[in-house]
């Protein structure tokens, strides 16, 4: 068993695609029209055949209260691994990304939380060497 696809709800698929590709640096994998929406996925350029992130429309009525509760409590919806959190924080800050938690040492890792501009908080994680 393996994870090949996971999803994140977004307010606007086109804006999310721009943020996740142009700002975060992911690569568009699929963009298949499905009526008013699309099957829209991105992958890491480091692992192009690895897991895909589906940028899922947030239209279902359960999504807004769920995401609002997470954001209100400061809970990230997803986590992405990075090799150098300090460098990513600096790069993303230059791109205007808003961090709700700056790089923080939590013992076994460094973490930071950003606002993806699409309704979610995302945590960046740099694991420390064992």
Q: Tens of pLDDT along 8-34?
A: 999 999 999 999 999 999 999 999 999
Q: How far apart are CA 119 and CA 64, in angstroms?
A: 9
Q: Tens of pLDDT along 85-95?
A: 999 999 999 99
- Residue ranges covered by each domain of the chain: 5-127
Please give the radius of gyration of the chain, using alpha carbons only, rounded to the nearest integer.
Answer: 15
Mean per-residue pLDDT over the chain, rounded: 97
3-state helix, strand, coil in the chain (%, to 5): 25, 40, 35
Fold classification of 5-127 is 2,3-Dihydroxybiphenyl 1,2-Dioxygenase; domain 1 (3.10.180)
Q: How far apart are CA 50 and CA 117, in angstroms?
A: 25
Inform me whether the pLDDT recorded for 130 exceeds 90. no
Q: What is the mean pLDDT of residues 41-58?
A: 97
């Amino acid at each position: 068993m393996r994870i090949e696809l996971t999803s994140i709800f977004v307010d606007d698929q086109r804006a999310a695609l721009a943020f996740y590709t142009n700002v975060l640096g992911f690569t568009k994998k699929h963009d298949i029209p499905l009526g008013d929406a699309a099957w829209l996925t991105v992958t890491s350029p480091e692992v192009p055949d690895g897991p895909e992130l589906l940028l899922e429309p947030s239209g279902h009525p359960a999504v807004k209260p769920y995401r609002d509760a997470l954001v209100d409590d400061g809970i990230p919806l997803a986590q992405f691994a990075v090799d150098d959190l300090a460098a990513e924080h600096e790069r993303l800050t230059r791109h205007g990304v808003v961090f709700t938690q700056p790089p923080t040492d939590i013992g076994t890792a460094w973490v930071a939380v950003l606002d993806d501009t699409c309704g979610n908080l995302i945590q960046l994680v740099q694991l420390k060497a064992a």
